[in-house]
């Protein structure tokens, strides 16, 4: 048999009873003859509660201290799960991210993993132990605790699977797999039996919360087979891999969406060539992610640049732009919040023209104004009013015939 990395999210470890269930799932794999490494998140709403407590102390706590605080959530889970495994008669050991050898870049709150020193974990696995690792966290070269951002436990699991040469990585969640869209919003949503790395990466980047984008990047780069599965139901999930069997006539495979989007417009750039690169270089240096970008010309020959960001980044974005106004040489800034991004994804779009036209027609028929557009070979994203987000998702899901029995992608 092989090495299996299992990842369990916050809802899967939200109570002692659920932690005992996770222990049982890990033991099942062990009894099949596999070596097992388990990665866990903080219990339930622990992270939210820690953030709330911090906000009662300070309106702008330092990123370093927030990492120190938030990393404690997973430490509780790994200790309890290891106790549960021991109670069930299986030798186990728990490690925080830094004890597990996870080294990150020096960015508090959203660090990337640089490398994993796996010697300790490999020795424990060789000794027959189930290894339990705290997700979402690591340590910098200088010894500072750093966290990987929301959903970072997925990244921890896949990175460990890659570093350890695991046979596969199972991502356990509160849903049974990857769906054509979020079943909490669209009851006709159906589970996909398989999806490609590229499609899953687009879905994850576009708001499908079932997997963290960095986790999919790791899986794609290191060819780690993934399966998204239910932590409670005993059924096959969604396989995420390079080669898949493409369902005939299924051009669009999923509809992704996310709210809390803001459009920022920078007016009157005197030099659009250097101004464009300077704006986005400056934002990137301040760790602000920019999504859809649109440039237009004014009658005076200047340029206007519009781009979308997460609304939570608006305050920092405006601060950066105002701080560097002399360098950027623009006239004014305006922004529009209460927006959402709705996207369709599918590798079948490459060889089927007219998908974009159909998407815009469906949105127009439903009186939904498109404010921004972005495309790639396998996705089309639109920015719309947040109040019409669900209506747009439902209309597109129906128009592209995604309802029905479970489908291969």
pLDDT of residue 248: 47
* Angle in degrees, CA 402, 407, 409, rounded to 5: 90
Instruction: Give pLDDT, residue 395.
Output: 97
- What is the predicted pLDDT for the residue at 405? 57
Report the greatest alpha carbon distance in the chain.
76
Render the burial of 135-154: b for 16+ CB within 10 Å, e for the rest: bbbbbbeeebbbbbeebbbb
Angular region, 389: left φ>0, alpha ψ -120 to 50, beta rest = alpha
Cα–Cα distance, 289 to 310 (Å, whole number) = 8
- Looking at residue 409, what is its pLDDT? 46
Mean pLDDT by 10 residues, the chain (409 residues): 94 96 97 97 94 95 96 97 98 98 96 96 98 98 94 94 96 92 92 91 85 90 94 91 62 93 92 77 91 85 90 95 88 96 91 91 97 93 97 96 68
Q: Please tell me the predicted confidence (pLDDT) of residue 230.
A: 93
Q: What is the pLDDT of residue 252?
A: 92
Give the chain as a 3 state SS string: CCEEEEEECHHHHCCHHHHHHHHHHHHHHHHCCCEEEEEECCCCCHHHHHHHHHHHHCCCCCHHHHHHHHHHHHHHHHHHHHHHHHHCCCCEEEECCCCCCEEECCCCCCCCEEEECCHHHHHHHHCCCEEEEECCEEEECCCCEEECCCCHHHHHHHHHHHHHCCCEEEEEECCCCCECCCCCCCCCCCEEEEEEHHHHHHHHHCCCCCCCHHHHHHHHHHCCCEEEEECCCCCCCEEEECCCCCCCCCCCCEEEEEEEEEEEEEEEECCHHHHHHHHHHHHHHCCCCCCCEEEEECCCCCEEEEEEEEHHHHHHHHHHHHHCHHHHCCCEEEEEEEEEEEEEECHHHHHCCCHHHHHHHHHHHCCCCCCEEEEECCEEEEEEEHHHHHHHHHHHHHHCCCCCCCEEC
In sequence order, the 6+-apart residues with CB closer than 8 A to the CB of 277 are none
Paired tokens of 371: 């404010």
Closest to 330 (Cα-Cα) out of 282, 261, 262, 383? 282
Number of C-beta neighbours around residue 117 at 10 A? 12
Global confidence as pTM: 0.82
Contact 397, 250 (CB under 8 A): no
Domains of the chain in start order, with CATH, are 3-174 (3.40.1160.10), 254-408 (3.30.2130.10)
What is the predicted pLDDT for the residue at 272?
A: 60
């Amino acid at each position: 048999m092989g090495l299996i990395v299992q990842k369990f999210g916050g809802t899967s470890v939200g109570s002692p009873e659920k932690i005992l269930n996770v222990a049982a799932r890990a033991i099942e794999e062990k009894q099949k003859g596999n070596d097992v490494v388990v990665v866990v998140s903080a219990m339930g709403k622990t992270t939210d509660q820690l953030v709330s407590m911090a906000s009662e102390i300070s309106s702008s706590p330092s990123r370093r201290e927030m990492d120190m605080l938030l990393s404690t959530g997973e430490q509780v889970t790994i200790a309890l799960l290891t106790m549960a495994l021991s109670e069930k008669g299986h030798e186990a050991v728990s490690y925080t991210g830094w004890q597990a050898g996870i080294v990150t870049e020096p960015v508090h709150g959203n660090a990337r993993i640089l490398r994993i020193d796996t010697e300790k974990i490999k020795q424990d696995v060789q000794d027959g132990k189930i290894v339990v690792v705290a997700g979402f966290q690591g340590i910098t070269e200088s010894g500072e605790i750093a966290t990987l951002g929301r959903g970072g436990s997925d990244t921890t699991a896949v990175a460990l699977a890659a570093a350890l040469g695991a046979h596969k990585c199972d991502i356990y969640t509160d849903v049974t797999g990857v769906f054509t869209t979020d079943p909490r919003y669209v009851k006709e949503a159906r589970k996909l039996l398989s999806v490609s790395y590229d499609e899953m990466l687009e879905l994850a980047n576009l708001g499908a919360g079932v997997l963290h984008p960095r986790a999919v990047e790791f899986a794609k780069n290191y060819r780690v087979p993934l399966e998204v599965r239910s932590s409670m139901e005993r059924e096959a999930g969604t396989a995420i891999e390079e080669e898949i069997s493409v369902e005939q006539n299924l051009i669009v495979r999923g509809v992704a969406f996310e709210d809390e989007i803001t459009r920022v417009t920078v007016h009157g750039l005197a030099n659009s060539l250097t101004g464009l690169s300077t704006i986005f270089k400056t934002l990137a240096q301040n760790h602000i992610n920019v999504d859809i970008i649109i440039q237009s010309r004014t009658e005076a020959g200047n340029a206007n640049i519009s781009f979308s960001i997460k609304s939570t980044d608006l305050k920092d974005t405006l601060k950066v732009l105002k701080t560097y106004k002399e360098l950027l040489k623009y006239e004014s800034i305006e922004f529009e919040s209460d927006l959402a991004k709705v996207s369709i994804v599918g590798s079948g779009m490459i060889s089927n023209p007219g998908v974009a036209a159909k998407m815009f027609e469906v949105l127009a028929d439903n009186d939904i104004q498109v404010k921004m557009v972005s495309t790639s070979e396998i996705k089309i994203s639109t920015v719309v009013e947040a109040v019409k987000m669900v209506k747009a998702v439902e209309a597109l899901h129906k128009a592209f015939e995604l309802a029905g029995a479970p489908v291969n992608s």
